[in-house]
Each structure stands twice: as structure tokens, then as C-alpha cells.
Amino acid sequence: MRAQCQLKRNFCMQPSERSRPSQSRSQERVEKIIIATQKMLAQYGYEETTIKRIAQAAGIKQTSIYRYYPNKRAVCSLLADIFIEEQNKAITHCIEESLRGQPAEKIIHEFNTKLRLGMHQEQWISPVQLALRSDPHLRDRHEEVLDHFAERFSLMLSSFGVTETGESLMRISKSLVLIYDAYMMAIGRAPFETHPKVQEDFETVIHHYITPFINGATKS
């Protein structure tokens, strides 16, 4: 989840959302902004993170940040893309493991463990999630993120043997995404020592939810 690596990739953002620096100096400055924002979010949370604090942490002027991002929401939107790309890789791995014959329960446990540990290591993730959920200007972005993961989860569910298709599969997938959204919120709020128990509880919910759909079963 290192920003240094992720910044070299296409974050699937529209050109109007942020500047696309072409020179190495500009790229380095953007990288500093991203890393500083991650640190400030982890330290202060979304509400208390300001452009001034980001600039101080990055060692640059506030005006330099505004050259690329109009406000902290725009930076958080980019951080959401960094998280999405990392989870896309994790979901792809789950699908590959399923196609190799690994049981869904084992795959889900490993996915949840990686997500839990990743959130502890990259503590900016929870503030970004909270921002997407609570900031009125980012709610549309939150819906986009949920829809994206619903599409990805539908592929994973199909690999598990879920026989539903089309809109029915998407309804199942969207509900699963909401369960994971709640899981991440719980991890973000709970003390670290309780995280394994939080994971265990949510895995019980997840298995109870998806098991009836696997291998042709239907949910009443």
C-alpha cells in the first residue's frame, strides 16, 4: 500500500479531478503531498487534517498543494483510488485461489486478515473511509467506491460457485459490500487487540450470508 509505488500508476481519475504532472519535480511534489496527507490523516483524522498541516508535513507551501488539489477532499479521493487498486489485486488473488480449488471459507479468512492488518499498517485508510461516508461533498464518491467493489465482489462470488446472475447477483454483491463497509468501520474504531475478535464476528456474518447462495442453493 505504499504511496510511492501507487503514484506511478493510473488511478482511474478523470483529468479534471486533478493535475497530471509530467515533470519529475512535479511528480515528487505530488508524492510528498500524498505521503504527508496519509500521515496527517493517521495522526489527526479527517476533520482535523488541513491543507496547512499537509503543507507543513510535506515541507512545501500551501499554494503548491492548491496547484494540484483544490482541497483535502481531492487528496482523499486520490487516496481512495490507492486503496481501491490494492484491494483489486487482493480480490483478483481471491478469484485465482478459488479457481485453483481453494475453499471459499479459507479465501475469505485470508482476505479479511490481509484487510485488517493493512488497515492497521496504513492508518490513513479509516479516516478516508469516514470522509467518504460523512462528508456531503464526497458521498457520490462513496457510492462510486461501493459500486466498484460490488462489481468486483460479483466476480469473486461467481468463482465461489454462486449461481445467481445479472441483477440478482449484483444485489447479493452490494449487500456483501455493505457488510465489508461495516467491517472496516468496526476495525477503524476498535482497539487493536480486539481486531481478531472483530474479524471473527464479521466472518461469521459473511459466511451465514453467502453460504446459501453457493453451489446452486437459494436464499428464502
Q: What is the pLDDT of residue 135?
A: 95
Q: Please, what sign has the CA dihedral across residues 67, 71, 72, 78?
A: negative
- 106 SS3 class: helix
Task: Give the pLDDT of residue 27.
Answer: 87
Amino acid, res. 206: I
User: What pLDDT is stored for residue 30 in this prediction?
Assistant: 92
Q: What is the structure's pLDDT at 217?
A: 47
The answer to whether residues 212 and 218 touch, using CB atoms and an 8 Å cutoff, is yes
User: What pLDDT is stored for residue 159 in this prediction?
Assistant: 95
Q: State the cell numbers at 51.
A: 491543507
Name the residue with cell 496527507: 37
Top-level class of domain 77-213: mainly alpha
CB 80: neighbour CB atoms within 10 A?
A: 23
Dihedral of the alpha carbons of 132, 134, 137, 142, in degrees to the nearest 10: 30
pLDDT < 70 regions, the chain: 1-23, 215-220
Residues 163, 216 contacting (CB under 8 angstroms): yes
Structural Rg of the chain based on CA atoms: 19
pLDDT score, position 162: 94
pLDDT recorded at residue 2: 43
Class of residue 215 by CB neighbours under 10 A (exposed 0-12, middle 13-18, buried 19+): exposed
Q: Torsions phi, psi of 7, nearest 5?
A: -70, -15
CATH class of the region 3-66: mainly alpha
Residue ranges covered by each domain of the chain:
3-66, 77-213
Q: What is the pLDDT of residue 214?
A: 87
Q: What pLDDT does 26 receive?
A: 85
pLDDT in tens, 75-134: 999 999 999 999 999 999 999 999 999 999 999 999 999 999 999 999 999 999 999 999
